[in-house]
Amino acid sequence: MTQPPSPENAQTPTSKRQPAEAKGFNALIADATALTGDGGSQAPADKTETAKPSKYAKLAIGVTLAVGIAATGYAAYEINNNLRSQAEAEQALEKAQKAAAVKAQQQQPQPEVLPVTEPERPAGAIKRKPFIAVIADPQWIKDTAAATGVPERALQAYAAATLTVNKEQPACEMGWNTLAAVGAVETHHGTISGTALNQKGQALPRIIGEPLTGEQFIAAKDTDGGLLDGNPEWDHAVGPLQFIPETWRQYARDADGDGWADIDSIDDQALSAATLLCEAGGTLTQASNWITAIKAYNPSIDYNNDVAAVADQYAARVR
């Protein structure tokens, strides 16, 4: 592979001012924490009482026995023996009734114990540690989307990623407009060729670039067995911000807190791209560092200039 052309003609955004900060962007942030609760319902208490013979039933038993003795005088010993065992019989009956009640209670349907399951894994996703997603102020998102034309769902991803990396790497000083410009140049914020972002931020149908055979773009032999791009021979750029599988494996991050780094998710790709740019460029308010960062993403001078132009446009529209 040949060395990329010299970046002498590369441009950087002309505005040194961070429009996001001027609008109080860094202060407009809320943590998205998972809400949990004990939930569930309990089975109603069993209020059924064991039936007991009434006093009239007991009296009838005694009268019947007395009449039988007076009329016949027969088997007095046997009857007296029965009378002596009557209390024992009643105790045995009550014990049997209690045992039956317990058995009936045990036979009632019990709540089903469901196995603990992990969130559904997107195809080719990489497992990541739990992450508390960052959410930018909804009003800022609405106003900025209206001013710039960036779709709100995409802008949510760019803003959250910018807030996250600037908190993790304060020296980076990334502007949201740089990340948004990359998304615009790559796939028009995940809307290229009829693709759209769903509520989860996934680009569907999937965005898969041309095979990197070296004829039109750089040559990139397959590195993922076709897992992410469906091609076991050549790699393709994939997703809203067009990561190639090898780079994705290195920088993939979970931005929405589901525990997976999904190459088709604009949230995950935006945070991954922001991490790459900060690590490659350092402090991005310095022109040479900004050029270095974009060059790490794509070495083309034309690409660098396109991203710079779009970043300037976005910054100008929110002043």
Would you give the DSSP letter of residue 75?
A: T
Based on its alpha-carbon atoms, the radius of gyration of the chain, rounded to whole angstroms, reads 37
Q: What is the pLDDT of residues 116-150, one digit of tens each?
A: 444 466 666 777 666 677 888 999 999 999 999 99
DSSP lists the bridge partners of residue 236 as 211
- Per-residue pLDDT, 225: 92
Q: What is the pLDDT of residues 153-179, one digit of tens each?
A: 999 999 999 999 999 999 999 999 999
Question: Encoding tokens for residue 224?
Answer: 């993922």
- Per-residue pLDDT, 88: 72
DSSP lists the bridge partners of residue 261 as 126
DSSP lists the bridge partners of residue 31 as 134
Q: Give start and end residues of each alpha helix (H) in 47-201.
A: 55-72, 76-107, 138-148, 152-168, 176-187
Q: Is residue 250 predicted with pLDDT exceeding 90? A: yes
Would you give the DSSP letter of residue 318?
A: T
Average pLDDT, the chain: 75
CATH code of the region 128-317: 1.10.530
Residue pair 208/236 in contact (Cβ under 8 Å)? The answer is yes
- Per-residue pLDDT, 217: 82
Kindly tell me the burial class for residue 56, based on how many C-beta atoms sit within 10 Å of its own C-beta (0-12, 13-18, 19 or more): exposed
Q: What is the pLDDT of residues 59-107, one digit of tens each?
A: 333 333 333 433 334 344 444 455 456 667 677 777 777 766 656 555 5
* % the chain with pLDDT above 90: 54
Neighbours of 221 (CB within 10 A): 11
Q: Enumerate the domain spans of the chain.
A: 55-103, 128-317
Least reliable range by pLDDT among 33-47, 91-105, 125-139, 196-210: 33-47
